[in-house]
Structure 1
Amino acid sequence: MNFANDEGGAITADWVVITAGVVGLGALMYYYMHEPLRHVDEQSGQVLASVVVEPISFE
């Protein structure tokens, strides 16, 4: 009956559940945010490509 009362592995089970939840939440966020962030990236790239940087002289 000592086996039924042993709680030594309970913390391991808790960490497995927490880790699975964090990984699942990350995957869910990637699924929902992938396309909107891709469009923001493309727009930012277009804006930065059109920026003209003037040369600086220290003479």
Structure 2
Amino acid sequence: MLNFIKNFRNDEDGAVTVDFVVLTAAIVILGLAVGTAVSRGAEGLANEIETALDNMNP
């Protein structure tokens, strides 16, 4: 039983998995933030173009 506890304490395989999960979550959150920023900018530009086209004389 004592050997099992020592081996469990020294085993670092799970730590690598946790690191990758945290890094993947950070990348996903960063991607969502960038996507939201780009979407808002594109929407604002589309509204400006729509306004300019509506104000043109036929």
- TM-score, normalised by the number of residues in structure 2: 0.57
Aligned length: 44
Residue identity (%):
36
The CA distance in 1 between the partners of 2:13 and 2:44, in whole Å, is 49
Unaligned segments of structure 1, at least 5 residues: 48-59
- TM-score, normalised by the number of residues in structure 1: 0.56
Q: Is 1:8 aligned to residue 13 of structure 2?
A: yes
Q: Is the helix fraction higher in 1 or 2?
A: 2
Deviation at 1:23, TM superposition (A): 0.4
Runs of 4+ residues over 4 Å off in structure 1: none
User: Could you give the per-residue CA deviations for residues 1-52 of structure 1, whole angstroms, max 9, x where no partner exists?
Assistant: 2101101122211110110000010111123232111233x23xx88xxxxx
